[in-house]
Each structure stands twice: as C-alpha cells, then as structure tokens.
Chains A and B, each alone.
Chain A
Amino acid sequence: MNTTMKSWLPPLALLALAVVLYFALPYNLAFLTRILIMAVLVLSLDLVLGFAGIATLGQAAFYGAGAYAAGLFAIHVWADPVAGLLVAGLAGAALAFVSGLIVLRTHGLTLIMLTIAVASICHEIANKARDVTGGADGLRGIRMEPVLGLWQFDFIGKTGFWYALTVLAVVFVLLTLIARSPFGLSLRGIHESPERMTAIGVSVYWRRVTAYTLGGGIAGLAGALSAQVTQLVSLESFSFTLSAEALIMLILGGTGRLYGAVLGTLVFMWVHHWAAANDPFNWLFVIGGLVLAVVFFLPRGIIAIPTALKRLGGRHAGT
C-alpha cells in the first residue's frame, strides 16, 4: 500500500464510522449532526492553528458571522441551503480578512486577546442589534427550502445529517488539497520558522492573513450548517466557550493532521454529552480534568497514541 492511500485510511474510517453511527443511533441524529457541524468548525481551526500556527481563541466570531449571515439570508433573501452556505462562507471570510489585517500584526498574548476581543465585539453587536438579530432571544423563523430542491429538512434530522456530512467531507478534501499545495507547504514553513520563510522571500504576513481568511470562511460554513439545520441562531454562536471548546477538541485530537481534528471533536462531544447527561451541574469538572490531562500527558493529541505505544513497545523489545 503506498503512502497516498495510507494517508486516506483514517478519514475513510471516520466516514464509515459516521455512516455506522447513523444506523446505530437513529434517535440521536440531532446530536450526531451537531458533532459533524463542530467538526467543520474544528477543521477550520486546524487550518489556522495547526497549519499556520496562529493561536486564536476567537474562531467563534466567524462561526457566528456565518450563522447569522445564513439565517438572515434565508429569512430575507432566499431560503436555498446551498446559496446560504456560500453567503455564510463569504461573510465568515470577509470578517476574518478585515479583523485578520489588524490581529495578525500582533503576536503572543496580544494576538490571543485580540481574537477574543473580536468575538466579544460581534457578540455585543448581535446583542444590541435586536431588530435585526433578535438579540438575546436569538434569530427565529428560519424556514429552509429543500437541499438542491430535492431533500426537504425533516423532523428527525435525516436530511440534516447527510447534508452536514457532505459539507464536512467536502471541507475535508478541500483542506487536504490545500495542505498539499505550495501554499499549504509555505504555511507549514511559516509555522516552523517565520524568520527563514521571510529570508527566502515569502510574505509571511499576507500568507497568514490568507490562511486566517480561509479559516474564517470555513468556520462560516459551520455556522451556516448550524443555522440551517437547527433553524435557530443564538448569541451563543459568538461565545468564548465555543471558541475554547473548539480549541480543546483540536488539541485533544491532535493538530495539523485534519483527521485528528475530526477525532478530537468526536471524543470531546461524546464525553461532553455523557458528562452533561449524567450530572448536568458538574460536567465542567470532567471537561476541565480532560483538558489538563491532555495538556500534561498527551500534548500531541489522540493521533499520537499509536506512535507513543509503538515507541513504548520498541523500548520493551530493545531491553
């Protein structure tokens, strides 16, 4: 088996898992769809953080922008889901481009703080513009047309599931292609050593802005999915908690590998679901403990476990 085929194995296994889960848990489709949507968001973060090395805690800004754009577009202009997706992607990308121009001039703590600040401003604008966004009550009254004119969104969420899975798969393939393109490789170079990339004539700032913009567009897609499938956009779309959880999912799975992002989302959402269902008041203990455990004992994420085990096994074999 050659390396190209081997690198497609984990994502194909995850795709198969999604299909199995669809048939295994027919009454939890809303939850499964939520995982798929979060996976798109976490993939966008993997592009920004895992590839371009931009430590952001404000990815929810673009998710929220996409969600509100898709919701408002469906209510006021056209309720076609795919057109809504495109509009939301453009909205997320536009916000990421404008804010990225400022945010990416800084680094370290200031950068992290500014990304949080951008999301906070969006939250505040959505909260204040009650006439347009519905404020704290959320944006209601979204009625979607059938996907491609063929599949109507149903009550159980079958259409929503396949729709979200398709978008996730397209985003995954797109990001894989980007990662292998010269642009993707230059991002990795910037991540490893910005100084050297500057020295060989790469405009580091503009590459980072481009990656940030692309990431914003994909996060916008995730927001649009959420708005279209749940037919509701709440202020929570802009919340710090969402940004933080997306980051935790990415680190839990492992950065820079794409399928790590999907795996991390799956595990985190499952633990979250399980903990919140068992003890709705104290699940934050589980999440907090999980985060500390990952940072201290598994800094490279779940995808590093096989390598770590192999090395452990190798050491045993050697002695």
Chain B
Amino acid sequence: MTLLLNILVDGIAYGMILFMIAVGLSVTMGLMRVVNLAHGGFALLGGTFAHWLGSDLGWPFWLALPLAVLGTVALSMPLERLIYRRVYGFTDLQQVLATIGLTFLMIASVNLWQGSSLLTVPLPEGLKASVDLGFRTLPVHRLVVIAFGAAVVVGLWLLLDRTRFGIRLRAAVDNRGTASAHGINTDRIFMLAFALGAGLAALGGVLGAEILPIDAYYPLRYMVLFLIVVAVGGMGSIPGSLLAALGLGLLETATRYLVPDYATIAFFALVIALLTVRPNGLMGKIA
C-alpha cells in the first residue's frame, strides 16, 4: 500500500514535470511542423536563471521562479524571430540539424556562464518539509509540483478553449493556410505559442530540478525523454501530451521501484512496443 502510494505520488509529480516541459514541444511540432530538438534547452535556460538568481544572488525561490520563466520567454521570442522562422520551411533532417546546432550553442553558453557542474536551485524551507498524513509522510515538494501541473493543465485548457488566442491557435494547428486566409496573423500566433511553450519548459525545468537534475548537458540527456512524450501522446495534441506524460511518469517510476536494475530497458521496451502498435501516438492526428 505504501509502495503503491509512493509510486502514485512520485509518478504523477514526475509526469507533471514531463508534461510542462513537453507540451510546448508538442504544440510547436503540431503547429509549425518543426522537429525542435533544442526544446529541452529552454528548461535548461530556466533552470540556469533560477540557479543564478537563487544561488549566486541569494534571491528567494518564489521570486526567482517567475523571473527565470520570464527570462526564458524573453530569450525565446527573438530566437523564434531570427532562427526558427527560417527553420519552418526546412526538411525534417535540416530541422533536426539546425536544432541540434542550437542545442550545442545553448549548452556552450550555459557552460561558459555557469560551468559544467550541477546547477542546484535552492528550495525554501517550506518546500523541503514533508506533510504527515497519519499513516505516512509525503514530501511537500512533490505535492507542490502536482498542484502546479494541475494549474497548468487547467490554465492551458481555459486559454485554448475559452479565449480568442486559443481559437486562433487551434485553427492554425488544423490548417495554417485557411487560418491565414481568414485574417489570422499566424506569424504572431507562432511566436506567442513558441514563447508559451518555452516558458512552460522553463517552469518545468525549475520545478523539476529535484527530479531531473540540471547541468549544462541537460538538453541532450533528456532529449529522448521529451521526444517520447510527444511521440507517445501524438503531435500537436495537448490532452495526448498530458496522458502520455502522466502514463510515462507512472511507468518509469513504477519500473524504478519494482525492477530498479532494468528500469530504463523496461521503459524503452514498453514505449517501442506501444509505438509499433500506434505509430501516430495515443491521440495523434498528424502522421
């Protein structure tokens, strides 16, 4: 029972982190059809900013977190304008290469600025504590991560389902040409969606620093993980990303608790089996 609860809490917290980081990737892939291998770089940038503000400058966590997210968003917009906009028209292979090049530059920049050691984000006392449920204790950090994840899910749903921006974004995902012909400024939608995805990745990176430790090589180390979430969920599908992130988070946590020696192998084997049966992912529309 305790084991089950452990798997459930850790798995959902892990899944929420994966969702926050990968949802932007899924949207940009569905929207701009761009294979963005550099997406994990935004989580790294967020983590690096948070480390700098929290560790080097000693600012409180709850101030460093939003500033790190804003800093990443502020960097992502000119990047979209200058680089990504030209990448959209490329073939799959060229996109892969261009974004690998960008990933290398991001790693090199963080390496130059903060070195290649572990970049810790100091947590406030409140987050390090645990709550007593009577029969067992739970770390507050995991619960806060789950709460943030739930808030992001609800926020995204409201944004996409209830606002004009959401309607335009969905229209652009479904058919860019038609959306553009209806007077929707798709370039602006692209940039905002990209910035939103980058910001969420930064949020996930900072909040998840306890689970996915941050150092300069973060984007390469977890690249497959984020891509798996998108491929399993189905490109461009936000509910798919949520389902895939939670499922994969629980799966990986369960294998880690139950068969620790074979966790990674079991995880990949199950993912490959799933993608063999459903090549377009759980809720994918785009092949």
A291 engages B97 (CB within 8 Å) = yes
Give A266-318 interface residues, CB cut-off 8 Å to B: 281-282, 284-285, 287-292, 294-296, 299
A109 at interface (Cβ–Cβ under 8 A)? yes
Give B105-123 interface residues, CB cut-off 8 Å to A: 105, 107-109, 111-112, 116
B133 at interface (Cβ–Cβ under 8 A)? no
Interface residues on B, range: 35 or more
Give B223-277 interface residues, CB cut-off 8 Å to A: 223-224, 227-228, 230-231, 235, 261-262, 264-265, 268-269, 271-272, 275-276
Whether A117 contacts B268 in the complex (CB less than 8 A), given A55-B92, A282-B112, A295-B98, comes out as yes
**8 Å CB contact of B98 from A118, A284, A296:** A296
A121 at interface (Cβ–Cβ under 8 A)? yes
From A283, which residue of chain B is reached at the shortest CB distance?
A: B108
Contacts of B111 in A (CB 8 A): 281-282, 284
A114 at interface (Cβ–Cβ under 8 A)? yes
**8 Å CB contact of B97 from A113, A285, A289, A295:** A295
Task: A49 to B29: give the CA distance in the assembly, Å.
Answer: 22
Whether A117 contacts B228 in the complex (CB less than 8 A), given A281-B111, A285-B105, A288-B104, comes out as yes
Please give the residue numbers on chain A whose beta carbons come within 8 Å of chain B beta carbons, in ascending order. 49, 55, 57, 102, 105-110, 112-114, 116-118, 120-121, 124-125, 128, 240-241, 244, 247-248, 251, 281-282, 284-285, 287-292, 294-296, 299
B93 at interface (Cβ–Cβ under 8 A)? yes
Determine how close the nearest CB of chain B comes to the CB of A272; give it in whole angstroms.
12
B90 at interface (Cβ–Cβ under 8 A)? yes
**8 Å CB contact of A291 from B35, B98, B268, B280:** B98
From A49, which residue of chain B is reached at the shortest CB distance?
A: B93
Determine how close the nearest CB of chain B comes to the CB of A124; give it in whole angstroms.
4
Determine how close the nearest CB of chain A comes to the CB of B284; give it in whole angstroms.
9
Whether A289 contacts B101 in the complex (CB less than 8 A), given A128-B261, A282-B111, A282-B112, comes out as yes
Whether A288 contacts B108 in the complex (CB less than 8 A), given A49-B93, A128-B261, comes out as yes
